[in-house]
Chains A and B, each alone.
Chain A
Amino acid sequence: MLVLSRRTGQKIVIGNEVVVDVLGISGDGVKLGISAPGETSVHRYEVFTEIQAANRAAEVAVDDIENAALGNLSQMVRKNKDNEAI
């Protein structure tokens, strides 16, 4: 891992296009400004890992599903929709 020291107002650049700007520091918090091309997604790490875990769990669950479970769900969803329509 590369470790850099920066002061408020200083920046780093990642690749050719991603710029991280240290906007401010207060206590143990640091405020970062990130400029990146539109197709580059930027997420808080903990949110990223939470969704990654959710995606993996949903993928794995597919192996174990039985048609009965899908049948029950499908029936329930369709029944609720009919009730809404009335």
Chain B
Amino acid sequence: MSVINIKGKDVPYNEEEIITFSEGLIGMPEMRRAVLVPMDEFQPFCWLASIESETGRFIVVDPNEIFAGYEPFPAEQVAGADLQTLAIVKISSEWDKTTVNLRAPLVINKETHIGAQLILSDSKYQFAESLMQN
């Protein structure tokens, strides 16, 4: 059991929970190994926290919790794989201006815990989709 500090709070995690982004996030090769920590108080949001860097902290959410019917790629394309899809949330100091990146989701294989950030070619999903319009 190890411990990671997230906004001043120590959160325990198991080695098996570690998610590996082989290439890091896009433009952030240092964001390679991270853990996903659900916010019990603020569901459905989670922390995605680098275990290698104190600054690698993101807020993520399962986009389907907010945008019903979000389908980043055709279901038949990923048949048989147990995948978790997450979108990075950009919190604004004016909370109602918070946006979600639906165009570049994080996809994680739940079995192997290997993940990657994808860029969707379908432009119906935006880089900064407002959380409020739903």
Binding site for B on A (CB under 8 A): 39, 41, 43, 47-59, 61-62, 64-65, 67-74, 76-78, 80-81, 84
Contact = CB atoms under 8 A, between A and B. Distances in A.
Contacts of B3: none
Given A43-B119, A69-B95, A77-B66, A52 B131 contact: no
Interface residues of B, number: 43
Contacts of A47: 119
Interface of B: 7, 22-23, 25-28, 31, 39, 41-45, 55-59, 61, 65-66, 68, 88-93, 95-96, 98, 101, 103-104, 116-117, 119, 127-128, 131-132, 134
A59 B119 contact: no
Task: Specify the main secondary structure of chain A where it touches its partner.
Answer: helix
A82 to B, nearest CB: 12
Given A58-B101, A61-B92, 8 more contacts: A55-B58, A55-B88, A55-B104, A58-B58, A59-B57, A70-B42, A74-B42, A76-B131
